[in-house]
Amino acid sequence: MILADLAPQALEDGACFLARQDPDWARHIAAIGPCLHAATPGREPYEALVRAIAYQQLHARAAEAILGRLLAMFPAQAFPSPEQLLQVTPQVMRSCGFSASKAATLHGIAQASLDGIVPSRAQALTLCNEVLIERLVSLRGVGRWTVEMLLIYSLERSDILPVDDFGVREGYRRMKGLSKAPTPAQMRVLGQGWSPYRTLAAWYLWRA
């Protein structure tokens, strides 16, 4: 099992580590306060991916409504199984509010779960970050950012920096008072100095 420490003491230690990076980090962390990062441990990767796709490029309330209409079709359980999701036709998914592209992606995730490409949580806990990313971005509609959200929230990995996330790069620009946000490649280099607390760094940058 690959352990990731996001216990309260680890969050405190990580905030202190980042505050020692430079005066900008110190001021920012003092202004934000303690790290309150909250993961959703226990959620299976299949469910986490389906939920992430539902929220892609949508306001949270709109995504919740669309996902809620899908889940309402399965009142006897908290979340439909891959087999059940595959039985939902694209037309019905469209009536829930999913685009044709998202409907195809959700079916692809469900089938990949049955085929063993999407691992169970127990299996995922044994796989390193890059192995999981490479494995799951092979699926239609699943990008690196989506898998990184799975790593951060479902698998509680403590050293993930989603450099493609606009909020992370814009947060760094604001914290540093820059005229232009760093590129993803530049952000990746900058983030190397924040390891092993890059998940915490992302949390603080999102709040800038």
User: Does residue 106 share a domain with residue 57?
Assistant: yes
Directed axis angle between helix 45-55 and helix 100-114, to 10°?
A: 170
- Domain membership of residue 26 as a residue range: 8-39+160-206
Q: Is residue 2 part of a domain?
A: no
pLDDT for the residue numbered 42: 81
Give tens-digit pLDDT for 153-181.
999 999 999 999 999 999 999 999 999 99
Q: Report the number of distinct structural domains present in the chain.
A: 2
Query: Is 1 contained in some domain?
Result: no
CATH of the domain at 184: 1.10.1670.40
Three-state SS for the chain is CCCCCCCHHHHHHHHHHHHCCCHHHHHHHHHHCCCCCCCCCCCCHHHHHHHHHHHCCCCHHHHHHHHHHHHCCCCCCCCCCHHHHHHCCHHHHHHHCCCHHHHHHHHHHHHHHHCCCCCCHHHHCCCCHHHHHHHHCCCCCCCHHHHHHHHHHHCCCCCCCCCCCHHHHHHHHHHHCCCCCCCHHHHHHHHHHHCCCHHHHHHHHHCC
- Which of the following is catalytic: 24, 115, 159, 165? 165
Total-model pTM:
0.89
69 with 129, same domain: the answer is yes
62 with 103, same domain: the answer is: yes
- Domain match, 87 and 111 both: yes
Judgement on whether residues 116 and 17 belong to the same structural domain of the protein: no
Task: Judge whether 30 lies within some domain.
Answer: yes
For the stretch 27-85, pLDDT in tens is 999 999 999 998 888 889 999 999 999 988 888 899 999 999 999 999 999 999 999 99
User: Which domain CATH number covers 85?
Assistant: 1.10.340.30
143 with 50, same domain?
yes
Active site residue 165: yes
